[in-house]
Chain A
Amino acid sequence: MPVRNVLDALTMRPTRFLTSSWPWRSLAYLTGGALIGIATICAVVVLLAAGLVLSVVVVGIAGYVATVLSGVAVGRLERWRMRLVDHAELPDPHRSPPAPGLRSWLRCRLREQATWRELGYTMLSALVLCWMDAAVVYAAVFVPTSLLFAPYYLYGETSLWTTVPLALCTPFALAVGAYPVTAWAGARAAMARALLAPRSDDTDAKLVELTRSRARLVDAFEVERRRIERDLHDGAQQRLVALSMQLGLARLELPAGSPAETQVAAAQDLAKEALSELRELIRGVHPKVLTDRGLAAAVGEAAGHAPVPVDLDLRLDRRLPDAVEVTAYFVVVEALANVAKHSEATRAAVSAGLIGERLHLDVRDDGRGGADPDRGTGLVGLADRVAAVDGTVALSSPPGGPTLVHVEIPCAW
């Protein structure tokens, strides 16, 4: 398992953990936390006092505003410090102000939820957490140090027979202490992350609109696909059938084996080839069975066309919204195409079910794994498609396999 943050580090083998940099990073993180907390208290006290004193004149309001905004500075510092104990970076939850200038920046910040969450975090950390940080750091430093120097400062009071073994216990104390320090740093970072990470309501209205317009685009695209499917089916395909039938009738009129009959037979074969090509094309554009019978039936057909055997386990007792069905169907088709193209698998399995209001869909294979979205194996397109209906795609494909594509799509009724 890759170690991404301190909490992961705790699950490493003790020998590896104790020789890694994680315990020291945790200690540094907590020391920083304690210092920042104490500095915050000083700063806030000063700002509030300034506000109080200056409130006689209007400028005093600036002191209060600055207090509120101290959270923004602390939040930024905390997100930067987070890299000590967590490889995953925390993105900035703040929007960019609509116009340049201090006034618009202030207005923008004071209206944001993120600003107030940061202030809450700052207060929490100044009043409670930083003291706990300090206590943990103090204990972690004090106990091993006092053990180490016991022979020195207890010289003459206690016999060396007692103090030297105590000093020799120092590495043991360090090793034992590394765990609570790291655990507290992990818990502390998790709290910070929960409060300081961007939330969906922080995103710009523009971004929400963008997602919506993308969903609309996908819908429009789907409507268009259906129209094309219908036009091809009711137009070109019917004409080809009629042509083939006419040729068949013409063949009946001609003596079998005559040059004319051979020609007509050849023409009829061409018409048939065109028909079957057109049929494949139409299925690719929009599978009729999906509209008529729903996801389970359509996935069953797709499995029937797949070059590797596919085990199906579809537990869908009702029809899902159109957009969800179409997306899920194309996910399965794309994933099965990937299985056939890249995995060298001998079997695949598709399972689907509704858990609460979400469709869960799994496509597995027993191939050689190593699927990589960055190498453009259609996985990115698949993720885009799913994202347009607010779904998520998770991929697990270690080298050597097996590969699992797990998709969840919310079904808004």
Chain B
Amino acid sequence: MLRHFGHEVVAAVADAPALLAAVAEHRPDVVVTDVRMPPGFSDEGLQAAIALRAADPDLPVLVLSQYVEQTYAAELLDSGRSAGVGYLLKDRIGDVSEFVDALVRVAAGRTVVDPEVVRQLLGRRRDPVQRLTPREREVLSLMAEGRSNTAIARALGVTEAAVAKHIGSLLAKLDLPPDADDHRRVRAVLAYLRG
């Protein structure tokens, strides 16, 4: 599937130790792994991803998971140098072009979080989030998923200026510092949502 979009898959491995070895050998641009891997089928894949990022904080890793549980996402986001991480539900693989797009964004050092996980995070921090207008909440969700202003504007069918305005007002409502660098802003939003 990835080849279809012109990416080269340098290695496909079956378990966590093999993954660590393959990364050491190929120095890939981005690693895609499942949370659950042999031999133990618990969370070896996630642990391997965290170990990889501990060894090389700039290595982009996209973790695919069956679980909305944000505990896993949180651990991943806290690993490495807070750049180039993605946590997506496996369901997203079906939206082939979106998935590949997310992969490219992770490889480019951005943060991507699954909308489903973001929805759950929003559910946890109800009180201040309640004060947002529905439109601001939409913008916040898209922001937390790691999308750029341009992408948010496209998704909502509004101008980029309008998106910037919404972002400014929602950051103010949530007491978050305005930040021109939208990557750092995403991290702030995620950190806020995780409470």
B96 and A241: CB pair below 8 A? Answer: no
B41 and A230: CB pair below 8 A? Answer: yes
In the complex, whether B93 has a CB less than 8 A from a CB of chain A is: yes
A289 and B69: CB pair below 8 A? Answer: yes
In the complex, whether B150 has a CB less than 8 A from a CB of chain A is: no
The residues of A with any CB-CB pair to B shorter than 8 Å are 230, 233-234, 237, 241, 244-245, 247-249, 251-252, 268, 271-272, 275-276, 279, 282, 287-289, 291-293, 297, 300-301, 303-305, 309
Contact A301-B91, Cβ < 8 Å, known A248-B96, A309-B126 = no
- Least distance between A125 CB and chain B CB atoms (Å): 60
Residues in B82-121 with C-beta less than 8 Å from chain A: 90-91, 93-97, 99, 120-121
A304 and B70: CB pair below 8 A? Answer: yes
Pick the residue among B68, B70, B72 that contacts A279 (CB under 8 A).
B68
A-B contact pairs, 21 of them (CB 8 A): A233-B36, A241-B91, A241-B93, A241-B94, A244-B91, A245-B1, A245-B93, A245-B94, A252-B4, A252-B96, A272-B94, A275-B91, A279-B66, A279-B67, A282-B66, A288-B42, A292-B43, A293-B71, A297-B69, A304-B120, A304-B124
A271 to B91, CA, bound (A): 9
Cβ–Cβ < 8 Å partners of A234 in chain B? 36, 41
Cβ–Cβ < 8 Å partners of A271 in chain B? 94
A292 to B71, CA, bound (A): 10
Chain B window 144-176, contacts with chain A (Cβ cutoff 8 Å), 1 for yes, 0 for no: 000000000000000000000000000000000
Contact A251-B69, Cβ < 8 Å, known A241-B91, A275-B91 = no
**Which chain B residue shows the least CB distance to A244?**
B94
Chain B window 47-78, contacts with chain A (Cβ cutoff 8 Å), 1 for yes, 0 for no: 00000000000000000001111111000000
Contact A251-B42, Cβ < 8 Å, known A245-B1, A301-B69 = no
**Which chain B residue shows the least CB distance to A274?**
B91
Most chain B CB inside 10 Å of its own CB: which residue of A237, A245, A272, A300: A245
| Those 10 A-B pairs whose CB atoms lie nearest each other, nearest first | A244-B94, A248-B96, A248-B94, A289-B69, A241-B90, A297-B71, A304-B124, A245-B93, A309-B126, A301-B69
In the complex, whether B181 has a CB less than 8 A from a CB of chain A is: no
B96 and A251: CB pair below 8 A? Answer: yes
A292 to B66, CA, bound (A): 14
Known pairs A230-B41, A247-B94, A297-B71; list 18 more (Cβ under 8 Å). A233-B36, A233-B66, A234-B36, A234-B41, A237-B66, A244-B91, A245-B96, A248-B99, A249-B96, A271-B94, A287-B69, A288-B69, A289-B67, A289-B69, A300-B71, A301-B69, A304-B123, A305-B120
- Least distance between A412 CB and chain B CB atoms (Å): 24
A291 and B42: CB pair below 8 A? Answer: yes
A303 to B121, CA, bound (A): 11
Cβ–Cβ < 8 Å partners of B97 in chain A? 252
A146 to B127, CA, bound (A): 72
B124 and A292: CB pair below 8 A? Answer: no
B41 and A305: CB pair below 8 A? Answer: no
A275 to B91, CA, bound (A): 7
Cβ–Cβ < 8 Å partners of B41 in chain A? 230, 234
B43 and A249: CB pair below 8 A? Answer: no
Cβ–Cβ < 8 Å partners of A276 in chain B? 91
**Which chain B residue shows the least CB distance to A272?**
B91
Cβ–Cβ < 8 Å partners of B4 in chain A? 249, 252
A247 to B96, CA, bound (A): 9
- Least distance between B165 CB and chain A CB atoms (Å): 29
Pick the residue among B42, B90, B120, B123 that contacts A292 (CB under 8 A).
B42
Cβ–Cβ < 8 Å partners of A292 in chain B? 42-43
Pick the residue among B36, B71, B90, B95 that contacts A301 (CB under 8 A).
B71
Pick the residue among B90, B93, B127 that contacts A248 (CB under 8 A).
B93
A309 and B127: CB pair below 8 A? Answer: yes
**Which chain A residue shows the least CB distance to B47?**
A292
A271 to B90, CA, bound (A): 12
A305 to B122, CA, bound (A): 10
Chain B window 20-55, contacts with chain A (Cβ cutoff 8 Å), 1 for yes, 0 for no: 000000000000000010000111000000000000
Cβ–Cβ < 8 Å partners of B66 in chain A? 233, 237, 279, 282
A244 to B94, CA, bound (A): 5
**Which chain B residue shows the least CB distance to A247?**
B94
Cβ–Cβ < 8 Å partners of A268 in chain B? 94
**Which chain B residue shows the least CB distance to A234?**
B41
Cβ–Cβ < 8 Å partners of A309 in chain B? 126-127
Most chain B CB inside 10 Å of its own CB: which residue of A237, A241, A271, A305: A241
